[in-house]
Amino acid sequence: APATGRLKPLRKHRGIIATITIGLVLAAACVAPPSESPEKGSDRLVLETAFKNIGLRYAADVSTRTVSVAGLKALSDTDTLLAINDQAGKIAVTYEDRVLGEWQTPADEDHNAWAAVVADALEKARHDAPKLGEKDHELVLAQFFRGALSELDRYTRYATPSQARNTRARREGFGGLGVTIRYSKGDVYVEKVHAGTPAFKAGLKPGDLITHVGGLMLTGLTQNAAIGHLRGPVHSKADLTIIRKDASAPLKIAVVRAHIILPTVTSKREGGILTIRLSGFNQGTSRSLGKILAAADRKDGKPLNGIVLDLRSNPGGLLDQAVAVADFFLNDGRIISTKGRHQRSNQIFNASWGERVTDIPIAVLVNGRSASASEIVAAALRDRGRAIVIGASSFGKGSVQTIIRLPNGGELTLTWAHMIAPAGFNLQSHGIIPAICTSSPDNELADMMAAIRGDLPAAGTILNAALASRSAIRSNPDLARERCPPARAERTEDQEIAKYLLEHKSLYTRALRDGGAAIAER
């Protein structure tokens, strides 16, 4: 008989101490020297903040000298006549045979001294290297950071002020209308109107062409410029001019902007199976999931037989949201722990007492684009024996980043810890290897689908696949990942297998035992 269960009443989630993105705004108290140009002064403050945080917070020890010299040398990518010499206790910038500047090499960890040297070198290079001088000031600084951060891991990166504004909007929300736009040949169309938003209440419809905001014409602007004009302070008014296919004249619609958090959770219920798809983890993810679970419990008074948690192509997001999502399905015990060089990066996250989803089987879907926060959820539910994982091996991003807000409005995303799954494994590189693999190059998938459709014995075929995965993971995780490669496709077979297992309680239980908890036993 199908497994059934009830949802416990929702309760407020306990506060989470840390997130995968921790914003730090550092105010500079020092005053620039009178002779310092505005650009040089700005660069110096940005570099001081960046160097200090790299020295204190980066997951591995790296010298400021290494980072600084690598960044300066990257400037020659724009102008090959520019050279950086680091020898005999001096740093020199030359252009052709001419010395533009020379400085005594500061102590490796003297962050402020290195910031002053680099800021001075950047100014001289912009002034005397013509190709650098033609570039926007922020782009030259970004080029320096690309070189500097190449000495660190691939997840540590710099965002210019404009890039940082966009990423903050995705994480934290923004003042906006509540629409997804489609940009086509200079025209701005409404692609989707999100329920409950100002645009929804004002009557905007998919297909509407937005020609003006106030007196400003959007037609012909770049996509980013158009988005910038549609967004604005919360509670501000946007007077839109709309062309609608079935309207005889342009429409004037006033919309009052609100704080918009892009939706990351969608769901669909078919009979007793609830499929929940998470596309990311932002500030609204756990709240949206809670509403869906509460509504599912009330729908027609019928119990759930199972939940498919679809994390495929989910690149991750906020750590506290991943912890909150996993906590919906766990009674207690470890969700994830983080370990780094900085004292505050060493943390343990446990589930709070009383799971909200009781005795309901769960299947988690992952693929090669499932990363970071999505891997936290999959690992927690797998290692605690709470869900069976189906699909392809996940991306394998086992690091935690903190976000440093820089004085110029840019951001430094800095790796400061590594994630340890409940079973004690670092998720880096190996990622989540499914109990039921659908990306194997051999005939396993074809055999499983034949079994589900009645052409082969279902129990033996599926359980053999789970046991093979368990054995491979226990003996050689590298080989197991090779046998179940991180394919990017989202196969319909993933969902078919998940639903079949959830509808057959005995088979689900045996597959969970033989495959899902394999790592937890090590």
**What pLDDT is recorded for position 453?**
79
The pLDDT value given to residue 298: 64
CB atoms within 10 A of CB 455: 11
List, in order, residues 6 or more apart from 241 with CB less than 8 Å away: 210, 211, 212, 250, 251, 252
Domains 174-260 and 265-400+415-521 equal at CATH topology level: no
Whether the Cβ atoms of residue 229 and residue 239 lie closer than 8 Å to each other: no
Q: In the chain, where are the structural domains located?
A: 24-156, 174-260, 265-400+415-521
Alpha helices (H) in 97-250, listed in sequence order:
111-128, 130-133, 137-149, 161-172, 198-202, 223-230
CATH topology of domain 265-400+415-521: 2-enoyl-CoA Hydratase; Chain A, domain 1 (3.90.226)
- Residue 276's nearest CA partner among 495, 487, 433 is 495
Active site residues: 372, 383, 397
pLDDT of residue 473: 67
Expressed in angstroms, the distance from the first to the final Cα of the chain is: 32
The pLDDT value given to residue 4? 44
What pLDDT is recorded for position 448? 82
Identify the segments of the chain with pLDDT beneath 70: 1-36, 297-301, 354-355, 358, 442, 455-459, 466-475, 515-522
Q: What pLDDT, on a 0 to 100 scale, did the predictor assign at position 468? A: 65
Listed in sequence order, the residues at least 6 apart from 514 whose beta carbon sits closer than 8 Å to its beta carbon are: 435, 463, 466, 467, 470
CA distance 211 to 386: 51
What one-letter code names the amino acid at 98? R
Count of H helices and E strands in the chain? 16, 23
Do the Cβ atoms of 108 and 119 come closer than 8 Å?
Answer: no
DSSP-assigned states of every residue in 398-433: -EEEEEEEPTTS-EEEEEEEEEE-TTS-B-TTT-PP
* Dihedral sign computed on CA atoms, order 205, 211, 213, 218: positive
Name the residue type at position 311: L
Least Cα distance to 516 among 418, 350, 391, 397 occurs for: 391
Q: What is the 3-state secondary structure (H, E, C) of 361-376?
A: CEEEEECCCCCCHHHH
- How much is the pLDDT for 478? 79
Nearest to 282 by CA among 207, 372, 405: 372
Chosen CATH of 174-260 out of 3.40.50.1370, 2.60.34.30, 2.30.42.10, 1.10.1040.10: 2.30.42.10
Q: How crowded is residue 249: how many other Cβ atoms within 10 Å of its Cβ?
A: 7
